[in-house]
Structure 1
Amino acid sequence: MSQAVEVQNPTAGAVSSVKGMKKNGKQWHDNKTAFRPRANQTSWDKRTLERKALAANKAKEKELKEEKEAERQRRVDAIRTKRAAKEERERFAKMEEKMHKRRVERLKRREKRNKMLKS
């Protein structure tokens, strides 16, 4: 019942990756490497390009926000002018109930002249 068990030696590349047992017994952790603080630094040219790209991005966002705000402001102004015109029509309608129609028309013309002079 004795069978010859053939044991093959692992290749040289596999042996070099194994460096023996760790002293603390935590073989599942990676081996530490030397501390190199400048390892992750980028070149000056690369940083300036990134800054330019970021500045362009911010400028575009600002432009889009300003356009959006201008559109919103335009709608608000349109609503305000509509409301003012409606109030004025209602006011003149009340005046027409009390006064003669021609007199109300004269007052409208006079108010328009005064508005033109003030502005």
Structure 2
Amino acid sequence: MSATAETKTAPAAGPVAVQGMRKNGKQWHQPKTAFRPTAGLTPYARRAEERKALAAVKAKEKEMKDEKEAERQRRIEAIRTKRAAKAEHERYQLMEEKMHKKRVERLKRREKRNKMLKS
């Protein structure tokens, strides 16, 4: 029984590098490594590739933002035209209450002709 208990309690991980106490007493800090000034340098070709990839990502983001803005503007324009049509309809309703129906129809046709000439 003691043999099986020892195998169960033994850690499954490999050997862990044990280090002694730090000289300055700050054990909670990460251990320092040697200073290597050329470690972070990358070749020009790799930097150019990274720049190209970043530019492609930015272009895609801009395209997506433009599409979203165009959809938003389309919705706003639809709301504006709907409101304008509703206001015009209400205006004609008020005119019909005051004037004869045929005269209102004649005014409508005349206004449509004027709109066509203006645009």
> What is the identity percentage for the equivalent residue pairs of Structure 1 and Structure 2?
68
CA distance in 1, matches of 2:117, 2:26: 91
C-alpha change, 1:91 and 1:31, in structure 2 (3 Å) is closer
Tell me the equivalent position of 2:93.
Answer: 93
C-alpha change, 1:58 and 1:31, in structure 2 (3 Å) is closer
Query: TM (normalized to structure 1)?
Result: 0.73
* CA displacement at 1:39 relative to structure 2: 1.7
CA distance in 2, matches of 1:27, 1:107: 91
User: In structure 2, what residue type is equivalent to 1:56?
Assistant: A
Tell me the equivalent position of 1:107.
Answer: 107
Query: TM (normalized to structure 2)?
Result: 0.73
User: In structure 1, what residue type is equivalent to 2:47?
Assistant: R
| Rg larger in structure | 1
Tell me the equivalent position of 2:66.
Answer: 66
Tell me the equivalent position of 2:49.
Answer: 49
CA distance in 1, matches of 2:52, 2:91: 58
In the alignment of these two chains, the number of paired residues is 100
* CA displacement at 1:36 relative to structure 2: 2.8
* CA displacement at 1:64 relative to structure 2: 0.5
Runs of 4+ with deviation above 3 angstroms:
24-32
CA RMSD of aligned residues (A): 2.6
The gaps in structure 2 that reach 5 residues or longer are: 1-20
The gaps in structure 1 that reach 5 residues or longer are: 1-20
* CA displacement at 1:26 relative to structure 2: 4.9
CA distance in 2, matches of 1:114, 1:48: 60
C-alpha change, 1:115 and 1:26, in structure 2 (3 Å) is same
